[in-house]
């Protein structure tokens, strides 16, 4: 199950390439305004892409009506994201429980080189059971 898109991902032009069974692939175009002082993609944009990919992956394994939010994000930057190249992030669910979830992500440049890795922990709020459905 996938959910609606966020205003941030729409604004950045992030495309959901695929999302199913605990995995999601997202693609983000990069442009000059995303650059840092070194002339490469600012790490904050890469972190947003990774967090979005992991969140989308998490949404594929949770029931309708749930809410999930990352409360811990760990990024490791491996090589620069080049301005003008699309970046792709593959998020994968490692754990999906009733209260928390854990996911990992790999962000790559257009030539396949590893740009960053990430892990995140999510708080999960499952929908309330309808009255009378308790067993």
Give the tens place of pLDDT for each residue, 114-127: 999 999 999 999 77
Whether the pLDDT of residue 134 is over 70: the answer is no
By three-state DSSP, how is residue 100 classified? strand
Query: Mind listing the pLDDT tens digit for each residue in 92-121?
Result: 999 999 899 999 999 999 999 999 999 999
Which pairs count as long-range contacts for 62-65, CB under 8 Å and 24+ apart, including other chains?
Answer: 62/1, 62/96, 62/101, 62/124, 62/126, 63/1, 63/126, 63/127, 64/1, 64/127, 65/126, 65/127
pLDDT of residue 135: 46
Cross-strand bridge partners of residue 45: none
The pTM score is 0.90
> Strands 100-108, 67-77: parallel, antiparallel or unpaired by DSSP?
unpaired
Query: Mind listing the pLDDT tens digit for each residue in 10-39?
Result: 999 999 999 999 999 999 999 999 999 999
Please tell me the distance from the alpha carbon of residue 39 to that of residue 95, in angstroms, as a whole number: 37
């Amino acid at each position: 199950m996938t959910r609606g898109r966020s205003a941030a991902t729409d604004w950045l032009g992030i495309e959901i390439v695929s999302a199913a069974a605990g995995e999601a692939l997202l693609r983000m175009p990069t442009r000059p305004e995303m650059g840092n002082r070194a002339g490469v993609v600012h790490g904050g944009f890469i972190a947003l892409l990774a967090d979005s990919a992991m969140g989308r992956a998490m949404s594929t394994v949770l029931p309708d009506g749930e809410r999930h939010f990352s409360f811990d994000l760990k990024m490791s930057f491996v090589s620069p994201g080049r301005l003008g190249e699309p970046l792709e992030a593959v998020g994968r669910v490692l754990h999906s429980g009733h209260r928390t979830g854990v996911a990992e992500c790999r962000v790559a440049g257009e030539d396949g080189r590893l740009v960053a890795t990430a892990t995140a922990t999510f708080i999960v709020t499952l929908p309330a059971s309808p009255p009378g459905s308790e067993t």
